Homo-oligomer: A and B are copies of this chain.
Amino acid sequence: MDFQKKLEYAANKNKSFVCVGLDSNLDLIPSFINKGKLPQAVFNKKIVDATADLVCAYKPNAAFYEQNGSDGIAALKSTCDYIRKRYPEIPIILDAKRADIDSTNNGYAEFAFGYLKVDAITIHPYLGRESVESFLKYREKGIFVLCRTSNQGAGEFQDLIINKKPLYQIVAENVAKRWNKNNNCMLVVGATYPDELRAVRKIVKDMILLIPGIGAQGGDLKKTIYSGLNSKKKGMIISSSRSIIFASKNKDFAEKARLETKKLAEAINALI
């Protein structure tokens, strides 16, 4: 099953637009787990077991695993293997924000799709379509291109005006019109910028948007949903990480993560 079908299936089954971000920083996971072998994987498995009937996807961010070197990468792989085996209906998005020249991108694509066997990856647009063919050629995978990022200083280049349009809108146009011949392109747009989200939605029609920034980053849920939904009242992946996975530092951390996930999923559904 390709990424988009898998996503739709999981979203329908669990009635959820919520993607749990597995940003499982070793310094922030409960101290009673942070010992023994691959503690990040131990933590993630408990979060996944507690939330798998409430999400449409999981999104581990590579940075929080890389920072622990080869053990961190082993924990990331163990997490992905676990989700794939126990919950094969839930897609995994590797938030890696990669992009290099094409021959090098083959290595990153092999990391994501060959080694970790995830369903989707996030990439940078700066080198252009030609450089990322190494990702786009995977028809059955999801390729999320950074468009308008959620950070405070996102506008430095993304808002620069080219022919009366900001750069992020040109990225959206190019990805929708020129990059998407395999129908596997999607965009990342931060919940912290609902007006820009609305503009992107208009450009890309029904394309799926990955929307981080709800929760710790402070994005407004109502504005996000009204700006992000497509014509079928779908097309969004609302990603939240820290406010879910670190909802508690105690023995009840998985239970609290479940409660936060449920609360967010219900709050979104109530707005649709």
Residues of A near any B CB (own CB < 8 A):
23, 25, 61, 63-64, 66-71, 73-74, 77, 95, 97-102, 104-108, 110-111, 114-116, 124-131, 146, 149-158, 160-162, 167, 170-171, 174, 217
Contact = CB atoms under 8 A, between A and B. Distances in A.
Given A102-B151, A152-B130, A157 B125 contact: yes
Contacts of A116: 69
A154 B131 CA distance: 8
Given A63-B106, A128-B153, 18 more contacts: A61-B107, A63-B100, A67-B108, A69-B73, A97-B124, A99-B124, A101-B151, A101-B217, A127-B151, A128-B151, A128-B156, A128-B158, A130-B156, A131-B149, A131-B153, A157-B171, A160-B167, A167-B167
Copies in the complex: 2
Of the candidates A105, A128, A150, A170, the one having the most CB atoms from chain B within 10 angstroms of its own CB is A128
Contacts of A68: 115
Nearest to A97: B100
A34 to B, nearest CB: 16
Contacts of A217: 101
Contacts of A114: 67
Q: Which of A64, A111, A171 has the most CB of B within 10 A?
A: A111
A80 to B, nearest CB: 11
Contact of A61 (B99, B100, B146, B174): B100
Contact of A154 (B71, B127, B154): B127
A114 B67 CA distance: 8
25 contacts: A25-B107, A61-B107, A63-B107, A63-B111, A67-B111, A67-B115, A68-B115, A69-B116, A70-B71, A70-B73, A95-B100, A101-B150, A125-B157, A126-B158, A127-B151, A128-B151, A129-B153, A130-B151, A130-B152, A131-B149, A131-B153, A157-B170, A157-B171, A160-B170, A167-B167
A180 to B, nearest CB: 14
Given A70-B71, A70-B74, A64 B154 contact: no
Nearest to A132: B153
A46 to B, nearest CB: 21
A115 B69 CA distance: 6
A205 B62 CA distance: 36
A25 B105 CA distance: 12
Contacts of A69: 73-74, 77, 111, 115-116
A141 to B, nearest CB: 16
Contact of A157 (B73, B102, B126, B151): B126
